[in-house]
Amino acid sequence: MQNTEYTDAHIKTLEGVEHIRRRPGMYIGRLGNGANPGDGIYVLLKEIVDNCIDEFSAGFGNKVIIDILDKQVRVRDYGRGIPLGSVVKATSELNTGGKFDDKVFKKSVGLNGVGTKAVNALSEKFYVESFREGESSWASYERGQLIGSGKKEKVNEKNGTLVVFTPDGEMFNGFDFNMDYVETMVKNYSYLKKGLTLVLNGASYKSENGLLDLVRENMSETPLYEPIHLEGEDIEIVLTHGNSYGENISSFVNGQNTRDGGTHLAAFREAIAKTLKDYFKKDYKPEDCRQGIIGAVSIQIQEPNFEGQTKTKLGSTYMWEKYKNDEHGPTIRSFINDFVARNLDNYLRIHLDVVPIIENKIKESQAEREEIAGIQKKTRERNKKANVYNRKLRDCRYHFSDKLPKDKQDLAEQTSIFITEGDSASGTITKVRNANYQAVFSLRGKPINCYKESRKRVAENEELNLLISALGVEDDLDNLRYNNIIVATDADDDGMHIRMLVLTFFMKYYPDLIRRGHVHILQTPLFRVANKKERRYCYSVDEKEKAIRALKTSVQITRFKGLGEISSDEFVDFIGENMRLDLVKLSDEESISDIMEFYMGDNTIDRQNFIRANLKSEEELEDVNI
What gap in Å lies between CA 237 and CA 272, rounded to an integer?
11
How much is the pLDDT for 237? Answer: 95
The whole-angstrom distance between residue 205's C-alpha and the CA centroid of its chain comes to: 23
The whole-angstrom distance between residue 540's C-alpha and the CA centroid of its chain comes to: 26
How much is the pLDDT for 340? Answer: 96
Report how far apart, in Å, the C-alpha atoms of 255 and of each of 29, 185, 599 are.
19, 10, 36
Burial of residue 281, with CB atoms counted within 10 A of its CB: 0-12 exposed, 13-18 middle, 19 or more buried: exposed
For 351-491, where are the alpha helices, taking DSSP H only? 355-385, 388-392, 409-414, 422-432, 455-459, 462-471
How much is the pLDDT for 388? Answer: 52
What gap in Å lies between CA 400 and CA 410, rounded to an integer?
10
Q: Which residues contact 90 (CB under 8 A, 6 or more apart)?
A: 82, 83, 96, 97, 98, 116
How much is the pLDDT for 553? Answer: 79
CATH for 18-205? 3.30.565.10
**Number of helices and strands in the chain (H, E):** 23, 22
Question: Among the CATH numbers 3.30.230.10, 3.40.190.10, 3.30.950.10, 3.40.50.970, which is that of 211-367?
Answer: 3.30.230.10
Q: In terms of Cα–Cα distance, which of 193, 213, 232 is closest to 63?
A: 193
Q: Which residues contact 39 (CB under 8 A, 6 or more apart)?
A: 30, 31, 32, 33, 172, 175
How much is the pLDDT for 608? Answer: 67
- The domain locations on the chain are 18-205, 211-367, 411-524+561-601
Burial of residue 74, with CB atoms counted within 10 A of its CB: 0-12 exposed, 13-18 middle, 19 or more buried: middle
Contact 297, 336 (CB under 8 A): yes
How much is the pLDDT for 494? Answer: 80
What gap in Å lies between CA 228 and CA 226, rounded to an integer?
6
Three-state secondary-structure class, residue 190: helix
Report how far apart, in Å, the C-alpha atoms of 102 and of each of 51, 105, 489, 500 are.
15, 5, 53, 51
Instruction: Report helix, strand and coil shares of the chain as percent, to nearest 5.
Output: 40, 20, 40
Asked: is 411-524+561-601 a CATH 3.40.50.670 domain? The reply is yes
Tell me, yes or no, if the two domains 211-367 and 411-524+561-601 fold the same way.
Answer: no
Q: Are strands 135-142 and 160-167 parallel, antiparallel or unpaired?
A: unpaired
Contact 467, 501 (CB under 8 A): no
**DSSP annotation string for 20-48:** HHH-THHHHS----SSSTTSHHHHHHHHH
Report how far apart, in Å, the C-alpha atoms of 375 and of each of 229, 276, 333, 378 are.
38, 28, 35, 5
Contact 372, 410 (CB under 8 A): no
Mean pLDDT per 10-residue segment, the chain (626 residues):
50 60 76 83 91 89 94 95 90 60 47 72 94 93 92 91 94 90 92 92 93 88 93 93 88 84 92 96 93 92 70 75 60 92 96 96 91 75 57 86 74 88 81 91 84 78 84 83 90 81 88 87 88 87 89 86 76 80 72 66 67 56 42
